[in-house]
Copies of this chain bind each other. A is one copy, B any other.
Amino acid sequence: MSEKQIPYKIYLEEAEMPKQWYNVRADMKNKPAPLLNPATLEPMTAEELGAVFCEELVQQELNETDRFIDIPDEIQSFYKMYRPAPLVRAYCLEKKLGTPAKIYYKFEGNNTSGSHKLNSAIAQAYYAKKQGLKGVTTETGAGQWGTALSMACSYFDLDCKVYMVKVSYEQKPFRREVMRTYGASVTPSPSTTTEVGKKILAEHPGTTGSLGCAISEAVEVAVSTEGYRYVLGSVLNQVLLHQSIIGMETKIALDKYGIKPDVIIGCAGGGSNLGGLISPFMGEKLRGEADYQIIAVEPASCPSLTRGKFAYDFCDTGMVCPLAKMYTLGSGFIPSANHAGGLRYHGMSSTLSQLYDDGFMEARSVEQTAVFEAAQQFARIEGILPAPESSHAIRVAIDEALKCKETGEEKTIVFGLTGTGYFDMVAYQKFNDGVMMDYIPTDEDLKPGFDSLPKVDK
């Protein structure tokens, strides 16, 4: 098909939308290492996981054999309200850069959560409802995941208790109000509603909270309240499974026009978007059917893949969750306070960590002023104000396109535009005012995190 026929935006027809999620672990020769019980250091059983997570989600978490898992009709219906997400040909950006490269992006921001997070939130809420639960608990930092879960719970008439890091609760009141509009209860963390919260408040009276503390509170409420479970928006295998909808749609859209990408780029914090975007392409690569250059992009100030260790670590700062084997900076690692661009998680999905360790993808770290320069350029040319997280992928996509300009290569570049930056204007203001700083931790800075890694002989 000639290039002229490729529209600015490719929207799949409803009939073309995926009806199954793709489980990349089924095609991995080296499976991701299992979650370990922090007390026994033995693999977590389904029963143990079932105390915290919904039953069917536990099955998905442990499923390493089924390549495809049916998307229930109710979730397909919800997906139809805001999906398919468009695959956009960045004609204007290509022209401005003067590159022979062809650039596409999968835009996940056309929903009120402002990101791809809704893809897994609706699945997790559905299984909670199916199990007859009354509600779910979770934590949120910036608020994207909390918003997505609030929307999903509202749709299925489930109670939703969100523990929001206190400093975000106070500094991002608008995110909080979106969640409240969807009927969620939002509690600043640490709070007096939990034992762990009370303990932390007693020890650190002036604390503004942390994601680790909010996780601990959310988990405590889930396991101690009849009819509740805890849900998480990234890192887990089940989340990557649900997010495979991103990559599946992308692949169907590309195949429809006979386009084969050369480079696939995604930002990576816990791995939910990257894992979802690349999954069907990675599947082809694992099965030896095709080859792609796959690039994970992370902040230079939180470089888990590029500078972390591949080791068992706690998933949360509070050290109450299972241990996961992953590329990690240590659960005690906290990015510099001047880091504005999201993707702050100290570790990385076990699945992606294994794939990276096995050489199936590469990783790059980028500094935040360069990220916001790319964000501003993209906004002005392509019209969409991107989330800081997404802008990490934009940065590398532009860099790759400029390389093609030098070499004359007509590569096809696909990147994930995970969301919009409408609730991130404080960071944009710093950039607009010229006061945004870069920060690359020294080896000395990283040492305490590595020293805090648990001693696990696996």
Is A7 touching B14 in the complex (CB atoms < 8 A)? Answer: yes
Is B420 touching A380 in the complex (CB atoms < 8 A)? Answer: no
Assess A425 versus B112: contact at CB under 8 Å? Given A154-B380, A155-B383, A383-B155: no
What is the bound-complex CA distance between A151 and B151, given in angstroms? 29
Which residues of A347-402 have CB atoms within 8 Å of chain B's CB atoms? 376, 379-385
Contact of A178 among B8, B114, B155, B425 (CB under 8 A): B425
Is B151 touching A182 in the complex (CB atoms < 8 A)? Answer: no
What is the bound-complex CA distance between A98 and B109, given in angstroms? 30
Is B80 touching A181 in the complex (CB atoms < 8 A)? Answer: no
Q: How many residues of A contact B (CB 8 A)?
A: 46
- Shortest distance in angstroms between A155's beta carbon and chain B's nearest beta carbon? 7
Main secondary structure of the interface of A (DSSP, over half): helix
Assess A432 versus B384: contact at CB under 8 Å? Given A81-B92, A112-B379, A379-B112: no
Contact of A183 among B81, B111, B380, B429 (CB under 8 A): B380
| Identical copies in the complex | 2
Contacts of A382 in B (CB 8 A): 81
Is A425 touching B177 in the complex (CB atoms < 8 A)? Answer: yes
Q: Does A9 contact B (CB under 8 A)?
A: yes
Is A432 touching B112 in the complex (CB atoms < 8 A)? Answer: no
Is A80 touching B177 in the complex (CB atoms < 8 A)? Answer: no
What is the bound-complex CA distance between A294 and B384, given in angstroms? 33
Contact of A173 among B81, B376, B429 (CB under 8 A): B429
Is B7 touching A155 in the complex (CB atoms < 8 A)? Answer: no
Q: Which residue of B lies closest to A380 (CB)?
A: B154
Contacts of A78 in B (CB 8 A): 383
Contacts of A7 in B (CB 8 A): 13-14, 80
